[in-house]
Amino acid sequence: MALNDHEDDAHGMSRRDFTILLGGACLTGMAEPQVMARLTGSGRKRLSALAYQNPSAEGTWVLKKIEGTVPRELNGTLYRIAPGQKENHGVMLNHLFDGDAFLSGYSFNSGKVTLRAKYVDTPERLEELQAGRMLYSEFGTLAPRTGEEKQAKSKNQPSVNVMYWDNMLLGLSEGGHPTSIDPVDLNYRARHDFYGTLPGNVPFTAHPKFDPLTGEGFGFGVQQGMGTALKVYRMELNGKLSELYSLPQKGYFMVHDMLLSKEHIIFVIPPVRFDLPTLFKGQSSPADALRYFEKEPTRYLILKRDGKSKPVTIEQPPSMVFHHGNAFEKDGKIVIDTLLSPDNTGLTALHSWSKNRMPMVTSTRLTRFVLDPGKAVVSSRSEISEHQEFPRFDTRRTGLEARYLYTLESSIKDDPFAMNALVRHDFAFNKQKKIMAPGDRMLGEPVFIPHHGRDEEDRGWLVMQGYDASKNENFIEILDAGTLDFEARIWTGQHFPLGFHGNFSKDMIIE
C-alpha cells in the first residue's frame, strides 16, 4: 500500500455512524478523546499539534504490525529526536522548540524491527521531576519564579538533531554543548565539549556537515557574551575540534544550518538576531527577544575550508532561512540549494504553537543560487518550488553534485507545519515526483539509506517517521529511493512527538 493508497477508516459508513463508533471507542479506551474531536470536527485540533503531543509511553517494543515487507538488507538504527512535551508541571509551553528532548531508536535487523524510546534524562529534567515544578526556562517560555528567584535558569535541550559520531550518540541543539547519550539504552551520559576543545561560551550547531571522502566534520557556533563572533570548526577524526575562523559579528545572529562544498563552507545569515538588552533583563524568553530586521540584507558568507583565506560576503534581499540542501562547485562557482522565506511569519507561527489557530505563514521557496566568490556576486537565482521544508539528500554526495533532493511539502493552508507530501526533485531532468500522504497523516523528515555496496543515488531506501491522527499512532514508512514505491509500513502502537531531524547509523543495533 503506497502513501497515497489509503482507505478511509469511515469508508462505507455515514458520518453519524462513524461518530457513534468513535464515541464508543473513546469510552472503552480504544481511542483518545482528542482524536475523536479532530475527526468529528468538534473542538478540532490541528494535525501538527496532534503530531507533537506528549508521548504515550517510554519503553522498548518489538514491532510486529507491519504492512509490506521490511528489507532484510536494511540493518542499523534510525535515531529521531524531538521536543517531547508541550506542558511542564502545569505550565503550558508556548514554542514548538520547547520541551524536554524525547529520543527514539528504530533498529532494523534482518527484517525485524525493535523500537526503544524515552526522554533524555538530563540533570535539569531530573531536578524538575524531583521538585515537582518547572524550574528552568525554555526557548519560548519563562519558568514561574518564586519570591526568592530573580531570574530562572535556562535549559539546553538536545532536541533538534541527533547523530552517531566518534562512537557516541550526540543530541544536538543550538543553546549549548552537545549531549552525549548511550546509543543502546538511550540513557544520558554527559555534556560533550569535544575533549575540551569547545569553549564553554560557544554552543554547537545542530547541523554539522561531513566530508564523505575524508570523514572530517565541520561545525560552528555563535560565541555568547562579550565579543559576539561566529566560530567555525573542523571536527577532526580524533574527536577534537580545530578552530578555522573566529569572525566578529554585529550582534547575536540566528544561524541554523550551513553548507559544505569541496573547497568551501557557506553560511546564509538572515537579518535575525537577539535583542540582547531585552534578553539580559530576564523578563523575556529568547524567542520573545528574537528580532527580524526587514531593511537589512541576508548575507551569504563564503569561507575556504583551509581556514586561511579572507571570507567573501555577498548581500541579498532580506529573507528568513532554516535549512539548506547540498552545495557543489562548478566552473569556479558554487551552486547551493536553500529554503527561503521572504519574511518572519514562520518565526511568529513557531512562537504561537500553543494557540489553536496559527497565524498566516508566507510560503518557503526552494531556491537554487549560483554564487561567484571571485566577483562576490550572485550569478543566478531560480525558484524551484514552494511550501517545502526538511531537505535531505544522499549524504555521500555532500559537496558534490547530487541528482536528487528530497523535501517535505504542506498542502494544508491553515496548518503550515503539517507536512503531508514527499517530493523528490530530479535535477538531472528538472522534474519533480510527489507522493501524498492520506488526509490524517503527517510525515517526518526523509532519510536516505544506501543499499549495501551500491554507490548510485537511486539504489537505496527513504525511511520516514510518520503520524496517523485517525489511529493516534506513529509509524515508519520505507520507500524505494529510485522509484518511490512502497516497501513497508511499521506501526508502533504508540504516539510520539514527530520532531525535526534524525540520522541513521548502520553500525548500531538495539536489541
More confident residue, 261 or 2: 261
Which of 8-22, 180-194, 216-230, 378-392 is least confident?
8-22
More confident residue, 511 or 248: 248
User: With 60 as the cut, is the pLDDT of residue 369 above it?
Assistant: yes
Residue 511 placed within a domain: no
Residue 428 placed within a domain: yes
* Amino acid of residue 221: G
Rounded to whole angstroms, how far apart are CA atoms 470 and 320?
34
User: With 70 as the cut, is the pLDDT of residue 16 above it?
Assistant: no
The count of structural domains within the chain is 1
pLDDT score, position 6: 36
The mean per-residue pLDDT over the stretch 175-203 comes to 96
pLDDT score, position 354: 85
- pTM of the predicted protein model: 0.90
Domain of 110? 46-505
Rounded to whole angstroms, how far apart are CA atoms 138 and 155?
6
Residue 37 confidence class, pLDDT cut points 50, 70, 90: very low
Residue 232 placed within a domain: yes
Residue 6 placed within a domain: no
**Among 245, 247, 290, which Cα is nearest to 271's?**
290
User: With 90 as the cut, is the pLDDT of residue 381 above it?
Assistant: yes
pLDDT score, position 177: 97
Which of 35-39, 76-80, 307-311 is least confident?
35-39
Residue 23 placed within a domain: no
Q: What is the pLDDT of residues 415-437, one digit of tens each?
A: 889 999 999 999 999 999 999 99
Crossing angle (nearest 10°) for helices 33-40 and 15-27: 170
User: With 80 as the cut, is the pLDDT of residue 149 above it?
Assistant: no
Q: Which residues pair with 172 in a beta bridge?
A: 161
Residue 150 confidence class, pLDDT cut points 50, 70, 90: low
Residue 1 placed within a domain: no
277 burial level (CB within 10 Å; 0-12, 13-18, 19+)? exposed
Residues 187, 189, 194, 198, Cα dihedral to 10°: 110
More confident residue, 27 or 303: 303
Residue 429 placed within a domain: yes
Q: What percentage of the chain carries pLDDT values higher than 70?
A: 90
pLDDT score, position 4: 52
Q: What is the pLDDT of residues 58-102, one digit of tens each?
A: 999 999 999 999 999 999 999 999 999 999 999 999 999 999 999
Residue 299 placed within a domain: yes
The mean per-residue pLDDT over the stretch 371-393 comes to 96
